Amino acid sequence: MTILTYDCTAFDGQKPGTSGLRKKTRVFMKPGYLECFVQSIFNAIGGVAGKTLVVGGDGRFFNAEAIQTILRMAAANGAECMIVGQDGLMSTPAASHLIRKRGADGGLILSASHNPGGIDADFGLKFNTANGGPAPESVTDAIFEATKTIDHYKTLDTADIDLTGIAETALGDTRIEIEDPVVDYAMLMEELFDFDALRALFESGFTMRFDAMHAVTGPYAKALFEDLLGAPDGTVMNAVPSMDFGKGHPDPNPIWAKPLVDLVMSPDGPDFAAASDGDGDRNMILGKGIYVTPSDSLAVLAANAHLAPAYERGIAGIARSMPTSAACDRVADAYGIECFETPTGWKYFGNLLDAGRVTLCGEESAGTGSDHVREKDGLWAVLLWLNILAVRRMSVKDVLLDHWQTYGRNYYSRHDYEALDTGTAQELIADLTDRLDSLAGQSFGACTVTKADIFSYFDPVDGAQSHNQGLRIFFEGGSRAVLRLSGTGTDGATLRVYLERYEGPAGDLTLTPQIALHEIATATAEITGLAVRTGRTAPDVIT
């Protein structure tokens, strides 16, 4: 089989972010664009000759075509084996598990996560290393440098491989293994959780709805909840993956999963509800009449993880991203275990997990996970919640209230200002950065600033340092605001403003979050001049 070498010109802007390279789908479809980025990945990791890689994606538009391109290029570059999900599908946590289980040298995951899909929407590609986790900065920096100098790529002139069946085939000298993307992952979940207790929970009349949002977790959720645990047919909603996610936005939050939220908030709603995103790594948890913030979810899971077989001996520690609320810190203090505050991006948890310093990790952007993989894992979080409910025999609302009465409540909310002019957003952050040192002691409305800084992180495992990871403003009483420009969008800039206020166990624990955080939000808006600078009088999304 003839290897073809094509000359190419480097593309500008192929810098991977915290979750790989994300661009508009049409950008990835430009002649040579995907090929140049894939070859740059191969070049940056020392080539793929003799290596085994996992490849799969969330099924969005261009997923199938991109996987065929990757397989041909991997074969042309001498890969020994490519493990690919049936129909090109594989959730991100399942890919992480498969990389680890098979001892692969890494994996290529095609997804733009919670971003919409379609020819006029978003596409993404990231490389995960041999531990199953997202590539660290040293690797993504090497990939970016390779994209600047690439002048040729290798591929094969072959027909597409049929990925519809479970099979083993060959592409040149490269073995192609097509695997059911669900089986190995479901087996792992059975090892972690008490499936007998979960079956008994459903047999008792417990009701649940899971919204797969027309994304990759549909087949996984049906296999787990309906087939293995005996939940009634129809428990999983929007279960069939589609290239444009049913023309929806596969982000599991109260805005984009509003029909599920309306259902669980209704008088006849289910006892429990959950949703996951495009590639299956994020989650949303709800109980009858109540929404669980991702920060509270991490704290509750940490406090109750011992109720599941995999964690019955306790957890080693907890890690959270800096913008995530400090609710889990209070659990760590109570249990006498370590708690780490890292920059945003799951890759920052990898060293802590590999070193055995932490067991549970979480981000405020609906991501939670444990040391079973090196990615956040939406279905894992749902199953751990179910295991807790099965043992405690309490409603979600009562579990939350009991938690707050024990540890206090961290009122918390994220305000997203989307598709801002990039220059305007950068100027806002730059101006605030220049004024940080002068803010301490100033009052804005009812709030007085005690400290303001730029978050930096020192990795306790390898000593790596990460700077400029978000702006923090602390107020009297322990409240704070955090501002970051997000790297997950493809249109303009997204400014995320995180607001937090702590209320002790004896305080008022049942306020509406936006009411509890109103004074902090007002003070933050005054400090930043947000409305004047952006022309926005309210955020686009509140979670």
Active-site residue list: 113
H/E element holding 429? helix 422-439
Biggest distance spanned by C-alpha atoms of the chain: 73
Residue 541 tokens, joined: 């999304």
109 pairs with which residues across the strands?
56, 126
Contact of 270 with 301, CB cutoff 8 Å: no
Q: Tell me the H-state helices in 314-377.
A: 327-335, 350-354
Contact of 350 with 374, CB cutoff 8 Å: yes
H/E element holding 171? strand 167-171
φ, ψ of residue 262 in degrees (nearest 5)? -60, -40
First to last CA, the chain: 53
d(CA 256, CA 218): 17
Residue 99 tokens, joined: 């990389």
Instruction: Quickly count: other Cβ atoms within 10 Å of residue 177's Cβ.
Output: 15
How many residues would you count in the chain? 543
φ, ψ of residue 213 in degrees (nearest 5)? 60, 35
